[in-house]
Structure 1
Amino acid sequence: MPPYTIVYFPVRGRCEAMRMLLADQGQSWKEEVVTKETWLQGPLKDSCLYGQLPKFQDGDLTLYQSNAILRHLGRTLGLYGKDQREAALVDVVNDGVEDLRCKYITLVYTNYEAGKKEYVKALPGHLKPFETLLSQNQGGQAFIMGDQISFVDYNLLDLLLIHQVLAPGCLDSLPLLSAYVARLSARPKLKAFLASPEHMNRPINGNGKQAFNPVC
């Protein structure tokens, strides 16, 4: 049996970054897909620590909260920087990714039609800090932090890919980020995952807004 199990809805949502991480690191995992009907019945929801998914199983360890799961995989698989200093900086980047993801989620689920134009207009400013971080690390030719991939690279890549669906030209003014997406997406195992039917056919969100990614 695979050592990991992802329990989540049939969307990319908050789990695609961990799927990308596991695929790129050559790890196997099991999916337990939760339908809307099953969730609304209540028992699974009531059993979850915070009443929400994802739920993640690592053997007999049960975890909730997507960022906690990513950090756990980072520690377990050696994807958390090479020392405590880099680990702290990785956390800083991940919190920045979370801030932007929350803005995106708010748009998609509460204000998509009325708010998309203003959101896209402000997007370069929200992405600029990540361009700056790349410029400060080996001239933007490596990873977002340090000289080896970390869990936050997968989280950031996922966020950038879904924004390229929302606003296809959003990285045009950010050449380091644009090259970063291309470079990470070309990693052989990650490239295979991004081209897989499982990824391609999985909606990004649960409400049909920006449902599929035609570029992967």
Structure 2
Amino acid sequence: MAGMGPNRRPLLAAAVFLLSWQTSQLVMTAFIGGRSTARQVRISRQAEGYSLRYFDVRGAAETIRLLFAAAGQDYEDFRYPLNFGVPGDFSTIQRKEFDEDKASGILDIALGKVPVLNVGDFTLPQSKAIERYLARKLGMMGDDEVEEALVDAMAEHVRDINDAYSRKGLFFMKDEEKKAELQKKWYAEELPDWLSKLEKALPGSDGYAVGSKASLADVAIFKLLKDTYPDDVSAVYDSCPKVKAIVDNIAKNEGIKKWLADRPETFL
């Protein structure tokens, strides 16, 4: 596609996208180096006592982390390590600490999955529920009930786009020729069509998806276009002024800039 150069992000970065739907299985991870290191990253003074549990990858937790970053909110970024018994063999993935916590029952409320958000004695599962809860707590869910509903709707539009890409099954596709053909069509035809529809749907202006300040919808759009695909898709949304303004606006956020520069390096 014109304007789409070979600006590739880390190997198999597209798999981050797929992990959002199968986090409990972790059979969709990519492999670089054999294992991930244990991390319990304390971003903070933890003023509100937020603690996020997820694997040591971006996946389904990254929009949540971006929300924390955009709002400048301290939290504990607890990461379960992932190890490969046999390098590159997905069937040998080992998650000792995660499996121990799952067996102990502390993840029962989450059906044995992550991400999970802990706030004092309160535990909240499901990535989208966490995103909406945090957006409300952090003042990023609109200024009234109407704006909140619109923020929710715009974030769901983004999920529709994510789902459309996920259904292609590109990560496990062994036919490289077919895979390349599907990717080319996605970038050249389907993603532009989706973004054109999103552009028309956005009720906000001046760099905001809804209302007059950054919200979950803005962060979700930024995540979709700047932290999901292995290719630079800026040429795709250049023709969508509202979408482009949102991406550019979030990219200028000091917390977002710091997070993208300092976040842990992971194999996925």
Both structures adopt the same fold (TM-score exceeding 0.5): yes
Match of 1:63 in 2: 124
Match of 1:38 in 2: 95
User: Is 1:129 aligned to 2:129, yes or no?
Assistant: no
User: How far is the alpha carbon of 1:176 from its aligned partner?
Assistant: 2.9
User: Is 1:13 aligned to 2:76, yes or no?
Assistant: no
Question: Secondary structure at the residue paired with 2:226?
Answer: helix
Structure 2 gap segments, 5+ residues each: 1-44, 83-93
AA partner of residue 165 (structure 2): Y
Of structures 1 and 2, the larger Rg is shown by 2
Match of 2:219 in 1: 154
User: How far is the alpha carbon of 1:145 from its aligned partner?
Assistant: 0.7
AA partner of residue 183 (structure 2): K
Match of 1:93 in 2: 154
Distance 1:94 1:14 in 2: 14
% same residue: 29
Question: Secondary structure at the residue paired with 2:52?
Answer: strand
The CA RMSD measured in Å over matched residues stands at 2.5
- What is the number of equivalent residue pairs in this alignment? 199
8 Å contact from structure 2 (residues 226, 232) kept in 1: no
Question: Secondary structure at the residue paired with 2:237?
Answer: coil
**Deviating 4+ runs (over 6 angstroms):** none
Structure 1 gap segments, 5+ residues each: 206-216
User: How far is the alpha carbon of 1:62 from its aligned partner?
Assistant: 1.0
User: Is 1:185 aligned to 2:185, yes or no?
Assistant: no
8 Å contact from structure 1 (residues 4, 57) kept in 2: yes
Out of 171-180 and 34-43, give the one that drifted further.
34-43
Distance of aligned partners of 1:19 and 1:91 in 2 relative to their CA distance in 1, 3 Å threshold: same
TM-score relative to the length of structure 1: 0.80
Out of 86-95 and 160-169, give the one that drifted further.
160-169
AA partner of residue 255 (structure 2): K
